Structure 1
């Protein structure tokens, strides 16, 4: 069922997953020990219901379908893996190093999205 959706709706679904994952992780300050899949899914569902334009474009029977839910779960896992595998940019690394020197604080980060979080946190401290 997911595969039958238009490419625009699939792109919107992917973006909503990515955005919700990044905002959820920022909410828990990228602390892996605080990550809870059920909390993330609830966070994503809330985002979808209040902000995602694609939700109203998917037929109700598709949304309730077990097949669609399974395909969506697979898509969520794929998107999360992609976010976590995207390396920080050279510019982010340089900015973070500069901000760490200015603030005397140091943070670990492993992906581009987490680097964005760290960079913003350091800017608040500067």
Structure 2
């Protein structure tokens, strides 16, 4: 069912999952012990109904289909796994090392998206100093 959608809609679905995940993880400051799948799903539902272009383009029949929901669950897991599997770049590592030294922090990060969050977060902290 998901595979029957246009390439543009499939890309938009993937992007909406990624964006909502980034927003949710930023909201909990990338504290993995605070991660709650149901909370993330609520964040994603809000995002797709308020900000996503694909949601209104998919028929209510498809959106209410259990098969579609199962395929979306698989897609969500794939997107999240991909996010966690992308290692930080050497530039991100250097930037974070410098920022953490300046601010006296010691945040752990394991993926590119988490590194980006901490670069943005610590840069904001530095501006406030």
- Counterpart of 1:87? 87
Aligned equivalent of 2:37: 37
**Secondary structure at the counterpart of residue 93 of structure 2:** helix
Q: Deviations over 1:20-63 (max 9, x none)?
A: 00110010011111100000000000000000000011111000
TM-score (norm 1): 0.97
Aligned mates of 2:4, 2:121 — CA distance in 1: 41
TM-score (norm 2): 0.95
What does the per-residue CA deviation read over 1:2-30, in whole Å, with 9 as the maximum and x for residues that have no partner? 11000110000000000100110010011
- In the alignment, structure 1 segments of 5+ residues that lack a partner are none
Name 1:117's counterpart in structure 2.
117
SS in 2 for 1:109: coil
Q: How many aligned positions are there?
A: 126
- Using the TM superposition, give the Cα deviation of residue 110 of structure 1 relative to its aligned residue in structure 2, in angstroms: 0.5
- Deviating beyond 3 angstroms after TM superposition, the runs of 4 or more aligned structure 1 residues are none
Q: Give the corresponding residue for 1:52.
A: 52
Note the C-alpha offset of 1:125.
2.0
Name the CA distance, whole Å, in 1 between partners of 2:60 and 2:70: 16
What residue in structure 2 maps to residue 17 of structure 1? 17
Structure 1 CA distance for aligned equivalents of residues 100 and 37 of structure 2: 31
